[in-house]
């Protein structure tokens, strides 16, 4: 176009020069000036065109560099999804990675390069698509479950950098997560055990005698909920999205209304305008919490456990105090950090941050009555193990052990000093740390075992910590976050077996009018009186319970102890029942089997007859962070919780900026 313009100018000049008349000289001068102007204009147009082409290319590179940076984020997400341990790979030496440790090295990943090293191409077959490199900050991974990624994209001479926060997608995305919606087969033998294979209502023939647990009409679930099974709902309110892995949800409602007299006909749930439960693929639970004990090993500080937590042995009580301390009573504990797998005595230690093991007549130690009060282990995990039976284990009860305070003995006749395997009354068989309570009937023979790794927890939490128990977790009182630091307080409770809401009961002989001529006793009115033993609550008040925590039962359930106590039964049909108040959970509930917290009212209202009414509230912080070292699904992906563009980290040559 520019060439054509110049030709036209030249022709105009030629016509003017060849003209005649007295004004020819003036015309010539005018035309020359005009021609010069047009020539300058054409030159300017040429410069403008070249500049425009350059700007266009720069704009294209600018946009493409951002896309290359995003491609780096997607690549790292993919690697995490394929290898849950990929957070251990990276490169030290960058400002962004800071104090991060990468025991696995770079795993041969070009994207981890620094300086003049190669960049990872977005598409090796299309160089124009650019390249990227990224750096990882894993310093928050163990404490909050967060990985920070700095990804820089390069196209031509243009680089752009984004920073993304990544968190595992999994259990803590839900307020309520259940694998199976029926009663734990250890309680109801008519229900299928699915320890070796997933047995769901939608893929297994379930006995009609198996108890399917339903959401009741008074229940409110204030957050997202998921079940791998078919969900049974009677008039409950769900304020978050509900999902299920039952294939029927692909084409139908995704839930069922229980066909029982306890649920009035026509009672439908309220999904708060978010629609019926929708289908998502199975989210598989781990089979055991066994891997968590390695978080208490002190011989892995240069690799996978840079900050070991604390190990406690046998029944252990934890009482949180609002000033950031807790009081821990753990008579069987000898060594709170271990070395080796299996653990051995050599190298195992007793760090002060975990408390002082053993009994002292002066008190103030883990094994002294009343326990020891010290600062909550910050941003870490504590593990409560069963008393070891292997003689080489550092926490095996050795009669000759002298590792207690001041070199004192730990044990006498293979029991901790000043300790007996009794309940609170000092005579009933129990666990030696106060359970069962005076007058309490233990729910089962396995309850309150003297040597089990059980955790008993209550109090006001000021800190961030996860308590994992090899056996049971008992919530023995309210657990609430301290109001002064609520934004940073975070608690995880993980039990290999059940997580119980402590609700003690006692056995009482009761009499009632009956018509049983075989076992009844006739009274003066010609009626019969029957006598039976009934399990009655030790506290019949309509009290409520509050638990601020992310809760997980890996192999069993989150449930209320003695939830059916005081309820009507065939042996005592006239029992009035004593329903409790609300069970409020602020956090998340994850369980293998659906745990019962109440029984249905016998009046057919769909309400609660015994136990608690659910009031479950999702802690929105769990969408972005997790309690320290909380368990994840067997297979998981990492979602982006935030991403923003920042100052460019590297020049096109790889030099840090």
- Strand partners of residue 506: 536
Count CA atoms within 13 Å of residue 655 on its CB side: 4
Q: Reply yes or no on whether the pLDDT at 488 is more than 70.
A: yes
Whole-number pLDDT of residue 573: 66
Q: State which of 184-193, 248-257, 473-482 shows the largest mean pLDDT.
A: 473-482
Cα radius of gyration rounded to whole Å, the chain: 35
Query: Closest by alpha carbon to 496, among 533, 449, 527, 452?
Result: 452
Whole-number pLDDT of residue 413: 75
Among 17-26, 205-214, 505-514, whose mean pLDDT is lowest? 17-26
Whole-number pLDDT of residue 574: 64
Dist. CA 405–CA 360, nearest whole Å: 7
Whole-number pLDDT of residue 589: 98
Residue 391 or residue 15, greater confidence: 391
Whole-number pLDDT of residue 4: 42
Burial label for 599, CB within 10 Å (0-12, 13-18, 19+), is: buried
Dist. CA 477–CA 501, nearest whole Å: 8
Whole-number pLDDT of residue 516: 64
User: Taking the CB of residue 123, how many other CB atoms lie within 10 A of it?
Assistant: 12
Among 137-141, 460-464, 477-481, whose mean pLDDT is lowest? 137-141
Furthest-apart CA atoms within the chain: distance in Å: 152
* Band of pLDDT at residue 567, cut at 50, 70 and 90: confident
Burial label for 375, CB within 10 Å (0-12, 13-18, 19+), is: middle
Whole-number pLDDT of residue 49: 45
Whole-number pLDDT of residue 431: 97
Whole-number pLDDT of residue 228: 95
Dist. CA 473–CA 491, nearest whole Å: 13
Dist. CA 308–CA 233, nearest whole Å: 43
Q: Reply yes or no on whether the pLDDT at 465 is more than 70.
A: yes
Q: Which two tokens stand for residue 103?
A: 């025991």
> CB under 8 Å to 450, separation ≥6 — which residues?
314, 315, 421, 429, 430, 431, 432
Whole-number pLDDT of residue 522: 66
Dist. CA 457–CA 478, nearest whole Å: 9
Instruction: Determine the distance from the C-alpha atom of residue 19 to the mean position of all C-alpha atoms in its chain, rounded to a whole number.
Output: 92
Taken as a whole, the chain contains a residue count of: 657
Q: Reply yes or no on whether the pLDDT at 39 is more than 80.
A: no
Whole-number pLDDT of residue 2: 43
Query: Closest by alpha carbon to 65, among 639, 652, 642, 643?
Result: 652
Whole-number pLDDT of residue 404: 60
Q: How is residue 112 annotated by DSSP?
A: G
Burial label for 600, CB within 10 Å (0-12, 13-18, 19+), is: buried
Query: Closest by alpha carbon to 361, among 350, 352, 353, 369?
Result: 369
Average pLDDT for the chain: 86
Q: Reply yes or no on whether the pLDDT at 230 is more than 80.
A: yes
* Band of pLDDT at residue 45, cut at 50, 70 and 90: very low
501, 479 in Cβ contact below 8 A?
no
Could you please report the per-residue DSSP string of 21-90?
STTHHHHHHHHHHHHHHHHHHHHHHHHHHHHHHHHHHHHHHHHHHHHHHHHHHHHHHHHHHH-TTGGG--
Whole-number pLDDT of residue 84: 77
7, 13 in Cβ contact below 8 A?
no
Return the domain boundaries, the chain.
Answer: 2-17+24-56, 290-495
Whole-number pLDDT of residue 470: 98
Dist. CA 556–CA 594, nearest whole Å: 8
Query: Closest by alpha carbon to 275, among 256, 257, 253?
Result: 253
**Taking residues 394-398, what's their average pLDDT?**
91
Residue 514 or residue 598, greater confidence: 598
* Band of pLDDT at residue 529, cut at 50, 70 and 90: confident
**Taking residues 284-293, what's their average pLDDT?**
92
**Taking residues 473-502, what's their average pLDDT?**
95
Q: Reply yes or no on whether the pLDDT at 333 is more than 70.
A: yes
599, 263 in Cβ contact below 8 A?
no
User: Taking the CB of residue 15, how many other CB atoms lie within 10 A of it?
Assistant: 9
Per-residue 3-state assignment (H helix, E strand, C coil) for 184-219 = CCCCCCCCCCCCCCCCCCCCCCCCCCCCECCECCCC
Q: Reply yes or no on whether the pLDDT at 498 is more than 90.
A: yes
Q: Reply yes or no on whether the pLDDT at 536 is more than 80.
A: yes
Long-range contact set of residues 290-295: C-beta below 8 Å, sequence gap at least 24 = 292/381, 292/383, 292/468, 292/494, 292/629, 292/631, 293/338, 293/383, 293/385, 294/341, 295/142, 295/380, 295/381, 295/383, 295/629
Residue 568 or residue 414, greater confidence: 414
- Model pLDDT for residues 140-198, shown as the tens digit of each residue: 988 888 999 999 999 999 999 999 999 888 899 999 999 999 999 988 989 988 654 57
Whole-number pLDDT of residue 38: 43
* Band of pLDDT at residue 251, cut at 50, 70 and 90: confident
pTM for the whole thing?
A: 0.82
Q: Reply yes or no on whether the pLDDT at 46 is more than 70.
A: no
* Band of pLDDT at residue 1, cut at 50, 70 and 90: very low
Q: Reply yes or no on whether the pLDDT at 253 is more than 60.
A: yes
Q: How is residue 128 annotated by DSSP?
A: G
Relative to beta strand 464-469, strand 521-522 is: unpaired
Whole-number pLDDT of residue 600: 81
Q: Reply yes or no on whether the pLDDT at 464 is more than 90.
A: yes
Whole-number pLDDT of residue 607: 75
CA distances from 133 to 79, 169, 637 (A): 14, 24, 21
Dist. CA 411–CA 416, nearest whole Å: 4
* Band of pLDDT at residue 11, cut at 50, 70 and 90: very low
Q: Which two tokens stand for residue 468?
A: 């994992």
């Amino acid at each position: 176009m520019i060439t054509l313009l110049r030709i036209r100018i030249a022709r105009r000049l030629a016509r003017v020069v060849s003209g005649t008349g007295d004004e020819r000289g003036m015309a010539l001068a005018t035309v020359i000036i005009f021609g010069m102007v047009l020539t300058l204009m054409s030159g300017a147009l040429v410069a403008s065109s070249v500049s425009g082409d350059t700007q266009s290319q720069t704009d294209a590179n600018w946009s493409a560099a951002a896309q290359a940076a995003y491609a780096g984020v997607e690549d790292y997400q993919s690697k995490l999804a394929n290898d849950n341990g990929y957070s251990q790979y990276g490169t030290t030496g960058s400002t962004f990675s800071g104090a991060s440790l990468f025991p696995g090295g770079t795993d041969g990943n070009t994207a981890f390069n620094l300086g003049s090293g190669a960049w990872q191409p977005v598409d090796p077959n299309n160089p124009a698509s650019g390249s990227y490199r990224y750096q990882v900050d894993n310093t928050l991974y163990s404490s909050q479950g967060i990985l920070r990624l700095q990804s820089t994209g390069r196209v031509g001479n243009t680089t752009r950098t984004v920073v993304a926060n990544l968190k595992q997608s999994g259990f803590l995305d839900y307020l309520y997560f259940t694998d199976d919606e029926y009663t734990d087969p250890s309680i109801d033998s008519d229900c299928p055990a699915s320890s070796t294979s997933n047995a769901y209502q939608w893929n297994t023939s379930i006995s009609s005698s198996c108890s399917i647990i339903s959401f009741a009409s008074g229940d409110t679930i204030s957050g997202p909920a998921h079940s791998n099974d078919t969900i049974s709902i009677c008039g409950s309110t769900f304020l978050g999205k509900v999902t299920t892995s039952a294939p029927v949800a692909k084409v139908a409602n995704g839930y069922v209304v229980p066909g029982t007299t306890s649920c009035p006909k026509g009672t439908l749930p309220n999904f708060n305008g978010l629609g019926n439960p929708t289908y998502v693929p199975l989210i598989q639970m781990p089979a055991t919490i066994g891997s968590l004990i390695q978080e208490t090993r002190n011989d892995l500080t240069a690799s996978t456990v840079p900050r070991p937590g604390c190990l406690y042995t046998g029944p252990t009580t934890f009482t949180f105090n609002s000033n950031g301390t807790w009081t821990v009573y753990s008579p069987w504990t000898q060594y709170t950090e271990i070395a080796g797998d299996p653990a051995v005595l050599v190298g195992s230690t007793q760090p002060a941050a975990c408390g002082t093991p053993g009994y002292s007549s002066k008190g103030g130690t883990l094994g002294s009555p009343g326990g020891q009060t010290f600062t909550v282990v910050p941003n870490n995990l504590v593990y409560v193990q069963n008393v070891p039976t292997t003689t080489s284990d550092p926490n095996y009860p050795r009669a000759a052990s002298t590792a207690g305070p001041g070199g004192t003995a730990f044990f006498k006749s293979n029991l901790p000093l000043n300790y007996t395997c009794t309940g609170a009354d000092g005579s009933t068989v129990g666990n030696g740390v106060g359970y069962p309570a005076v007058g309490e009937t233990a729910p089962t023979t396995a309850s309150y075992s003297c040597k089990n790794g059980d955790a008993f927890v209550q109090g006001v939490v000021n800190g961030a910590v996860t308590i994992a128990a090899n056996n049971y977790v008992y919530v023995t009182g309210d657990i609430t976050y301290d109001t002064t630091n609520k934004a940073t307080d975070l608690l995880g409770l993980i039990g290999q077996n059940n997580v119980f809401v402590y609700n003690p009961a006692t056995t009482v002989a009761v009499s009632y009018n009956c018509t049983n001529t075989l076992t009844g006793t006739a009274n003066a009115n010609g009626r019969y009186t029957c006598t039976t033993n009934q399990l009655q609550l030790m506290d019949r008040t309509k009290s409520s319970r509050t638990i601020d925590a992310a809760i997980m039962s890996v192999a069993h359930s989150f449930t209320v102890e003695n939830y059916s106590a005081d309820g009507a039964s065939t042996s005592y049909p006239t029992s009035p029942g004593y329903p409790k108040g609300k069970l409020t959970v602020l956090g998340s509930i994850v369980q293998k089997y659906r745990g019962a917290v109440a029984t249905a009212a016998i009046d057919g209202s769909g309400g609660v007859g015994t136990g608690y009414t659910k009031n479950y509230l999702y802690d929105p912080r769990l969408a972005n962070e997790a309690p320290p070292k909380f368990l994840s699904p067997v297979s998981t992906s990492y979602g982006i919780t935030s991403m923003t563009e920042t100052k460019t980290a590297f020049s096109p040559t790889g030099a840090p900026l």
